Structure 1
């Protein structure tokens, strides 16, 4: 049975399908608390920044557990940073050149802050979602150092696909998708797969006893290394293929997966 459970936030632990109301189903919270009492480790593994992810962890009652942020570019435990990866200067220069030449909207993350050249309609909706305001700094955004992650938000799926292709030839970075129009860029040692393997090693837990639960393409690296790779019911077929499938997010799919693969129970 699973001894370590690593859970994505958006569309997995938390229902974010309604732009006016984000919530964690109560069954998810209750089941996570039950797992903790049984000695099972439960960890959030998200593309979100640390201070946003901590707020969600507190709602779920797992703020004292490990926390994987920025798609694996940061692993934290309380106030301690266990691992951190940053996009280097050469990579940033290449990424910034593409962003400027193609007028791509991008957000640049450093620790617990994120920066934009200018705010647009997409900025406001994103700020509301994560509860953290962006800092608008104009051209200075292209002179930042030690960037942990870059998030590009497109206006459509077609635009996202077009933009993703522009970044694929840059060495040493990972370009992946999270939500339908989100492009996430980190160093290639910063994936959820790398992070959950590191965490399993820290906790001395075999990967066959690791359960990863997610719903998007950026979750695939952790799903691929987990003994129990669980995908949410509403996820795209390309994410579900060859993996375990639980119920939809709004139907407490996380709780049902934990009940089945940690407690050997089937919910009714």
Structure 2
């Protein structure tokens, strides 16, 4: 049986730049709409309009049985929430996951937002901290990809970052890292080998070398890491009702370094605290 290599050629890496930028643009279109009174279906429509306007298609809609452009997860929902008539409320923590396919190549990215709530600043602070820790762990994993020899080092870096936060000073809770849902390779398909665990494992994993493209996506909770799938057969929620956050970027390793395909600046801002400078794909 023919097995496609997990490593891309330089030309294939260049072909992945545009779908990454389209994915980033779709999430940018959602960003100003995340406020109380807006439905998750409206956020989904904004992402779809942007993707179609750029001549691409939603790769989420290519998944069997799924007809939306995004997954939108609110509060105790961590991932795979289905957009619909749910109205966002003040203080909600909202994760938006999105992807675009352009000329046969894919991008995948996720961002978490917190809806402003002047009446409950403690709630907002607690949820913003969860989002900050999750985003920080994403960038720790991306930074590790720049020098890692094997994929397992990326998961180790993510776990180390989260554990270094210790006990949350705001919420008084430790953080949980989802175990059953992980990152993945990306290229001709949105989900490809290899898996990218968000925690340390005994297996070193595949070799990290030029041509590797990964969707790194830590999913973190403010309580248990145990989840269940809701009756819609998609939405993944925490068993204890604790909040979840999800951040993701598609990242390429090439001969000159790494480049975050789903960040317009290649990841410069996010990587700066880790002393890593992204290098454009030649």
Pairwise TM-score range, normalised by the shorter structure: 0.3 to 0.5
TM-score, scaled relative to structure 1: 0.33
Structure with more helix by fraction = 1
TM-score, scaled relative to structure 2: 0.32
